[in-house]
Amino acid sequence: GENVEQHPSTLSVQEGDSAVIKCTYSDSASNYFPWYKQELGKGPQLIIDIRSNVGEKKDQRIAVTLNKTAKHFSLHITETQPEDSAVYFCAATASGGGADGLTFGKGTHLIIQP
Amino acid sequence: DAGVTQSPTHLIKTRGQHVTLRCSPISGHKSVSWYQQVLGQGPQFIFQYYEKEERGRGNFPDRFSARQFPNYSSELNVNALLLGDSALYLCASSLEFSAGDTQYFGPGTRLTVL
């Protein structure tokens, strides 16, 4: 099955700086890569996703890049703000379509220092 | 429109008991997936249901079962509870059943097994 590795586990940045979180996946058949933000006591909230026919996608301060050859994808947050503090998870589909669900990384705790 | 709703919010059980968790998907969504999130880890896929049929199952024992009703709501049942079943149980809904369908998560049910 699919295996997703996520780094770093904790990331502390100064407010206004950029943050980058990286993930690698194992199954070359995976073709959908969402990123979720989870705040304390809440369920994961989708912030951006990318499909394998696209190399980069942006939504205001958030961008995701995908390198299918290297099997890795990254989340970039620019001009970080205090409300960006949360745990971020990357995920990938396993092969076989939706029947295998999403495989998640272990998460990155992003801390925005004022 | 209301998002994914789950009940109850919190639940405390003792070892050996059984538990039923409930989920209502976003209106119009036909697929429901269940995930288990242990503290400090990413969500792990348990089941996916589409049009009232099980379409996928993760690596969980037979003590875990689920069903989906004609109105697309779903129940997750866990029998013979173990201490290790303590976790946040998340329900996610998606419009259809495919690997690229966006999954929207509910707030979760926090299960504590004593």
The pLDDT value recorded for residue A98 is 54
Q: Which of B47 and A53 is assigned the larger pLDDT?
A: B47
Q: Look at A107 and B102 and tell me if their CB atoms are within 8 Å.
A: no
A74 pLDDT higher than 70: yes
Averaged over A99-109, what is the pLDDT?
91
Return the sign of the alpha-carbon dihedral for residues B4, B45, B33, B64: negative
The pLDDT value recorded for residue A95 is 45
Say how far apart CA A1 and CA A26 lie, in whole Å: 8
Both structure tokens of A30? 């995976």
Averaged over A99-113, what is the pLDDT?
92
CA distances from B72 to A69, A96, B84, B91, B114 (A): 39, 23, 29, 12, 32
Task: Classify residue A41 by its DSSP letter.
Answer: T
The pLDDT value recorded for residue A96 is 45
Starting at the edge strand that comes first in sequence, how are the strands of the sheet with A72-77 ordered?
Answer: A4-7, A19-25, A72-77, A62-67, A56-59
* Phi, psi angle pair for B83, to nearest 5°: -55, -35
Of the candidates B74, B85, B77, the residue with the CA atom closest to the CA atom of residue B31: B74
Chain-centre distance of CA A15, in angstroms? 20
pLDDT digits (tens, 9 = 90+) for B16-35: 999 999 999 999 999 999 99
Asked if B107 and B7 count as a contact pair (C-beta separation under 8 A), the reply is no
Say how far apart CA A37 and CA A80 lie, in whole Å: 14
Q: Which of B81 and A93 is assigned the larger pLDDT?
A: B81
The pLDDT value recorded for residue B1 is 61
Q: Look at A97 and B98 and tell me if their CB atoms are within 8 Å.
A: yes
Contacts of A99 in chain B (CB under 8 A): 48, 55-56
Asked if B77 and B66 count as a contact pair (C-beta separation under 8 A), the reply is yes
Say how far apart CA A52 and CA A45 lie, in whole Å: 21
Q: Look at B90 and A44 and tell me if their CB atoms are within 8 Å.
A: yes
User: Is the minimum CB–CB distance between A98 and chain B shorter than 8 Å?
Assistant: yes
A10 pLDDT higher than 60: yes
pLDDT digits (tens, 9 = 90+) for B44-85: 999 999 989 999 899 999 999 999 999 999 999 999 999 999
Mean of all residue pLDDT scores within chain B: 94
Parallel/antiparallel/unpaired status of strands A32-38 and A56-59: unpaired
A53 pLDDT higher than 80: no
> Which residue in chain B is spatially nearest to A49 when comparing CA positions?
B102
Q: Look at B55 and A98 and tell me if their CB atoms are within 8 Å.
A: yes
Distance from CA of B71 to the nearest CA of A (A): 21
Say how far apart CA A90 and CA A9 lie, in whole Å: 12
> Which residue in chain B is spatially nearest to A93 when comparing CA positions?
B99
The pLDDT value recorded for residue B31 is 92
Looking at the DSSP assignment, which residues form a beta bridge with residue A19? A77
Asked if B113 and B13 count as a contact pair (C-beta separation under 8 A), the reply is yes
